[in-house]
Chain A
Amino acid sequence: MDGWSELDNLLRTDPRDVGCAEALEMLHVYAELSAAGGPVEQRYPGIAAHLRACGPCGQDFEGLLAAVRRGSK
């Protein structure tokens, strides 16, 4: 990916993005469904869009997903 694409990706916004508050409110449901291989992107497109764009919420999601997977073993 060249610098133009990197910058474009950084600046590009998704109108479905629900923001941090709504994403974090449902993060436990989203992570559990995701860990089970459920259709999270289809069921929660606004949260999926947010987690792709927001570094901190994406990081929290990855952490929660890892915790759920560890907990289920």
Chain B
Amino acid sequence: MSPADSRGVRGQGAAAVLDPESAEWVQMLTGTGSRREVALVRLHEMLVRIALGEVRRRGPQLRIAGPELDDLAYQAAGDALIAITGKIGQFRGESLFTTWAYKFVILNVSAKIGRHFWRNPTVPLAAEEWDRLPDRFGFDPAREAEWRDLLAALQRVVNEQLTPRQRRVFVAIVLNDVPLDTLVIELASNRNAIYKTLFDARRKLRAALVTNGYLPDELSRR
């Protein structure tokens, strides 16, 4: 049984009794003197190990490799260490301390990768790559007339029914394959807001394509 299970998985805002290892981490990191210094070194080593593991896990999907990828991991671990020590008062014991700490470093790796793509884009962020869609969706060449009709309808709805911001987000993420975290930087926004914009755009586009008979409605899904 996991620590989360054994404590019944608390909801947000509830306090929990810490497991001994987590309690020790919190005690050391909120203390002073050499004990805290030792704990910081240990925590940093752990975060670097997790960050290196994460960039290697994601490596095959990235255009970053070697020392640059390792640098990214070390930067993410350093930023995570600062965030963890600054927010340790918010740790509620809903998971092991180490799991909570790992989350910071994983999110920092994501943010660093998004920033890397923003500095080194493979396509202009404002381009419109409609020609990439047939390959992306894997349409059958034998049915080209049908899917060209569908994609023309999609493009029409994107142009006529989305708000300018929904359109920009949809085009960047779906057409141009811009990572969402990169768009967060480009638009000086946050992941939640960009996702919500895309969510609303997806819902609006699907509703229009269903209304016009291009996609099945909820009850007749293939």
Residues of A within 8 A of B (CB): 1-8, 10-13, 17, 19-21, 24-29, 31-33, 35-36, 38, 43, 53-57, 59-60, 62-64, 66-68, 70-71
From residue 60 to 116 of chain B, which have CB atoms closer than 8 A to chain A?
Answer: 94-96, 98-100, 102-103, 105-107, 109-110
Using CB atoms and an 8 Å cutoff, list the residues of chain B in contact with chain A.
1-5, 9-10, 12, 50, 53-54, 57-58, 94-96, 98-100, 102-103, 105-107, 109-110, 134, 136-140, 147, 150, 154, 174, 179-181, 190-192, 195-196, 199, 202-203, 205-206, 209, 215-216, 221-222
Residue contact A36 to B199, C-beta cutoff 8 Å: no
A32 B99 Cβ-Cβ under 8 A: yes
Please determine whether B209 and A67 come into contact, CB atoms closer than 8 angstroms: no
Contact call A3/B181, Cβ cutoff below 8 A: no
Q: Which residue of A lies closest to B103 (CB)?
A: A28
B53 touching A70, Cβ below 8 Å: yes
- Contact A27:B2 (CB < 8 A) given known A4-B222, A10-B202, A70-B53: no
Most buried by A among B12, B102, B180: B102
A32 near B96 with CB under 8 A, answer: yes
Nearest Cβ on chain A to B111's Cβ, whole angstroms: 10
Distance (whole angstroms) from the CB of B163 to the closest CB of chain A? 17
Residues of A within 8 A of B5 (CB): 33, 36, 38
Least CB distance, A17 to chain B, in whole angstroms? 7
Compute how far the CA of A4 lies from the CA of B191 in the bound complex, rounded to whole angstroms. Answer: 28
